[in-house]
Amino acid sequence: MSKNTLAAACALLLLTGAGVGAGAAQAKTLVYCSEGSPENFNPMINTTGTTFDANRPVYQRLIAFKPGTTELEPSLAERWEVSEDGKTITFHLRQGVKWQSNSRFKPTRDFDADDVLFSFDRQWKDDNPYHKVSGGGYDYFNDMSFPKMLAAIDKLDDHTVRFTLNYPQTPFLADMAMEFAAIQSKEYADALLKAGKPELIDQEPIGTGPFEFVVYQKDATIRYRAFKDYWGPKPKLDALVFAITKDPSVRLAKLRADECQVMPYPNPADLPAIRADANLQMLQQPGLNIGYLAFNTQKKPFDDKRVRIALNMAIDKKAILDAVYQGAGTPAKNLIPPTMWSYDNDIQDFKYDPDAAKKLLAEAGLPDGFETDLWAMPVQRPYNPDARRIAELMQADLAKIGVKARIVSFEWGEYRKRVQQGEHQMAQLGWTGDNGDPDNFFVPLAGCAAARSGGGNSAKWCNQQFDDIVNKAATLIDQKARAQLYMQAQVIMHEEAPFYFIAHSVVFMPMRKNVTGYMMSPLGAHDFSNVDLQ
Amino acid sequence: MLRFLLRRIGLIIPTFVGVTLLTFAMIHLVPGDPVEVRSGEHGIAPERLAILRHEMGLDQPLWKQFLHYEGQVASGDLGTSVVTQDSVWTEFIQLFPATVELSVCAILFAIAVGLPLGVIAAAKRGTGFDYTLMGASVTGASMPIFWWGLMMILVFSVALGWTPVSGRISDQFYVQPITGFMLIDSWFSDDAGAFRSAASHLILPTIVLGTVPLATVARMTRSSMLEVLGEDYIRTARAKGLGRFRVIGVHALRNALIPVVTVIGLQTGALLGGAILTETIFSWPGVGHWLVEAIQRRDYPVLQGGVLLVAVLVMLVNLGVDLAYGLLNPRIRR
């Protein structure tokens, strides 16, 4: 008897043990070694990629970027219409979209027009009760000129919202796919306001996305689980964990030990070892960015385009890419990266030719060269791994044509400020695109409005013809017509050479071999909605 | 004794003001402010910059900002992070147990290993063991923590697979923080294996953070022991025919411990400095990690409040050591 009982107990134990084991095997959890802590859980307020990544599983927008591209596709809006004059955009909202829930909040209704109005009013209107919550600095909303651009947002019915603009602005649609245009639940906001804890909306987010937020342990982990009522294709993972790991070498160590399955931003020096590791795979893609050297065209001798072209011919780009980017960059010949629509591939980059450069300088009245400064930022940027080293290489090349360049640097914030004020003669800087629209490169980096002191056009270059073209392109709806204009703009820019384009950096994503379905985003977003583990 | 105590406590207040002034001055010497730092390549329109700076009170003269801050601290308010909008105190309380847990383990490790090693080295003075140990302790005391941590990870976690790479507990466990001390919380959690996981995550960071204090404790114990071993009463004890173990372990060690206790106390401050690096390498969510981030984001309230709290802690530990020392050694109670 007792023997039987023991046997039965053992069998039961084994069975339950097996059951537990099987359950554990079925729950598919992907651990992502993220590079830092999110500032909070609201993509309207913060501007860092780290915070955007932490919000991406939860929040959605009316429009989305098609995975792996910068093309737009419907998301919470099923479709939209733009009026003839380009000033009215009507969004038809998707029906039957469920809101997530948490211990404080159970939604009683689906997503509707009130949520859209709330999400934009919060950023736009001083009298919205949430406007000041969580600090209330809506940087992107302001940067993308929404307060200037928006005339009205109206609810036509529960599932139709109309945006009226003060002037036609086609990149508006791409803006609407940006992180800051996330849709929050008005019902949740109202409930929190009533409970006297409005700030929780940005700490315990409720969204419509494929994953629900579970818990954030400060500086350690963020946990999500698949949202079972998600309107789109169900995520293949059951759970998603962000393990915050700041040091790139440690991230790689965790990846190798299978403590995480995907990591961003590897050390360039580790790339060969990652490629050699049989357990790992690595995806790569040119980033949506540009690193350049800007000539201050409002200062002598850079007001003469012959000098700018001469310098473009005097610097050996290949040497910089080999020595500094080490395979993590593609040489740049245009302001926009080759993955962006309207990229003009017919433009021939200036050939490295010191003799021709010297001749051109002599033509410009500077046969013995000149003295100049050459600014290098003190920090690594996504588009420029080592500005100081690049400056040294440039300095050596320029010396060959008699140009004596003195390398200058400041603390990063100070550096940007001074370059924007135009204190430099030549300065390195760069840009990472926000929404995949060419307008987002041409206007803030080379437009006349940005050439004022304090503006982002660090060449301080104002070419009326170029400016008219890019401004006109922003008002057209037809993408083909826009692309043609941007191509013309690139030709002018090449002829005038206000910049020496260095490179577009390549972004790498190492991951375990068993990760499938991960698609790199040209915008640098890390998205796990279609990812699976084999 | 009471007068001694009051005097020590009285000294804390000027130190306190000094620390706030110093932190305040230093972060304001660093160019850039929270608004500019977050604007990145986008830059920020001067009008908006002015508004945001005004909201944060950054447009006030520095002395006004400082007085305002002192007043705020005096009333017990450490302010709110300009980045997360959480109160500095809440954040500190969430993160501090992780630092304490790691530091306590590191100091215990340093004592448990360093003390016996120092005693043996003294007892075997001039032998190969002594020389090796002292050589190793010089290396240990000057070990660059960042390099050391990465090496340990590469060897024990990646190559051998014995220990986890980083974090406080494996991601498969979610332990509800109650005390904030992962060892304690995981012990009481329902998840079998959580405690084991938490303990195994502590091994490498403990060794890395404990290395410098270990070397210091070993050296201090050795030299203090050597001094004591030369005393007359030790010779007397030996002459009485006491065993070698009893002479060293009981008569000598007790007296040799007094300076070692002081060194351990002083190491606590150094330990917090080391914790910043150790926490960064091992993704350990403690105050060190938090302060580094605050510097990068120019999160003034977090930086000021955090440094202040850490300083208070070091002061308290030093006070504790002073008191303990006063108890041990009546000569300094005046």
Count Cβ neighbours within 10 Å for each residue of B202-230 and write b for 16 or more, e otherwise: bbbbbbbbbbbbbbbbbbbbbbbbbebbe
In the predicted model, is pLDDT for residue B196 greater than 60?
yes
Q: Residue ranges of the alpha helices (H) in chain B? A: 2-29, 34-39, 46-56, 62-74, 88-123, 128-141, 145-152, 182-187, 194-229, 232-239, 244-246, 253-281, 287-296, 300-328
Whether residue B285 and residue A137 make contact (CB cut-off 8 A), yes or no, is: no
DSSP B22-60: HHHHHHHHSS--HHHHHHGGG---HHHHHHHHHHHTTTS
Whether residue A243 and residue B174 make contact (CB cut-off 8 A), yes or no, is: no
Q: Which amino acid is at A379?
A: V
Q: Given this model, what pLDDT does residue B235 score?
A: 87
B195 interfaces chain A, CB cutoff of 8 Å:
no
Band of pLDDT at residue B330, cut at 50, 70 and 90: low
Residue found by looking up tokens 């999110």 in the block: A38
B31 interfaces chain A, CB cutoff of 8 Å:
yes
- Which phi and psi angles does A368 have, rounded to 5°? -100, 15
Q: Which of residues 359-378 of A touch B (CB under 8 A)?
A: none
Q: Given this model, what pLDDT does residue B209 score?
A: 93
Q: Given this model, what pLDDT does residue A317 score?
A: 95
What pTM was estimated for this model as a whole? 0.85
Q: Which residues on chain B are in Cβ contact (under 8 Å) with A147?
A: none
In the predicted model, is pLDDT for residue B193 greater than 90?
no
A243 interfaces chain B, CB cutoff of 8 Å:
yes
Among the partner residues B161, B177, B285, nearest to A219 by beta-carbon distance: B285
Q: Given this model, what pLDDT does residue B1 score?
A: 67
Q: Given this model, what pLDDT does residue B333 score?
A: 56
Q: What angle do CA B34, B37, B41 make, to 5 degrees?
A: 150
A27 interfaces chain B, CB cutoff of 8 Å:
no
A217 interfaces chain B, CB cutoff of 8 Å:
yes
In the predicted model, is pLDDT for residue A20 greater than 60?
no
Whether residue A455 and residue B177 make contact (CB cut-off 8 A), yes or no, is: no
In the predicted model, is pLDDT for residue A15 greater than 50?
no
A496-534: pLDDT as tens digits: 999 999 999 998 999 999 999 999 988 889 999 999 998
Average pLDDT over residues B130-159: 90
Q: Which residues contact B265 (CB under 8 A, 6 or more apart)?
A: B317, B318, B320, B321, B324
B57 interfaces chain A, CB cutoff of 8 Å:
no
Q: Given this model, what pLDDT does residue A4 score?
A: 47
Band of pLDDT at residue A21, cut at 50, 70 and 90: very low
Average pLDDT over residues A99-115: 95
Q: Given this model, what pLDDT does residue A9 score?
A: 40
Whether residue A220 and residue B283 make contact (CB cut-off 8 A), yes or no, is: yes
Among the partner residues B35, B40, B289, nearest to A219 by beta-carbon distance: B289
In the predicted model, is pLDDT for residue A249 greater than 50?
yes
Length of chain A: 534
Percent of chain B with pLDDT over 90: 22
When the pLDDT of each residue in chain A is averaged and rounded to a whole number, the result is: 90
Highest mean pLDDT among A166-175, A308-317, A448-457: A308-317
Q: Given this model, what pLDDT does residue A112 score?
A: 95
Q: Which helix (H) or strand (E) holds A115?
A: helix A113-124
Q: Given this model, what pLDDT does residue A138 score?
A: 86
A407-433: pLDDT as tens digits: 999 888 788 889 988 999 999 999 988
Choose the weakest-confidence range: A24-38, A341-355, A368-382, B89-103.
A24-38
Tokens of B272: 């917090």
When the pLDDT of each residue in chain B is averaged and rounded to a whole number, the result is: 85
Q: Given this model, what pLDDT does residue A409 score?
A: 93
- How many A-B residue pairs are in contact by the CB < 8 A criterion? 127
Average pLDDT over residues A465-480: 92
Q: Given this model, what pLDDT does residue A11 score?
A: 41
Tokens of A307: 């000098």
In the predicted model, is pLDDT for residue B45 greater than 60?
yes
Average pLDDT over residues A398-405: 94
Whether residue B41 and residue A37 make contact (CB cut-off 8 A), yes or no, is: no
Beta-sheet strands, E only, within A323-452: 329-331, 371-375, 404-408, 426-432
A218 interfaces chain B, CB cutoff of 8 Å:
yes
Percent of chain A with pLDDT over 90: 73
Q: Which residues on chain A are in Cβ contact (under 8 Å) with B180?
A: none
Q: Which residues on chain B are in Cβ contact (under 8 Å) with A143?
A: 42
Here the ipTM equals 0.83
Band of pLDDT at residue A228, cut at 50, 70 and 90: very high
Strands A371-375 and A404-408 turn out to be parallel
- Which phi and psi angles does B98 have, rounded to 5°? -65, -40
Contact between B264 and B111 under an 8 Å Cβ cutoff? The reply is yes
A285-309: pLDDT as tens digits: 888 999 999 999 999 999 999 999 9
Contact between A403 and A358 under an 8 Å Cβ cutoff? The reply is no
Whether residue B43 and residue A420 make contact (CB cut-off 8 A), yes or no, is: yes
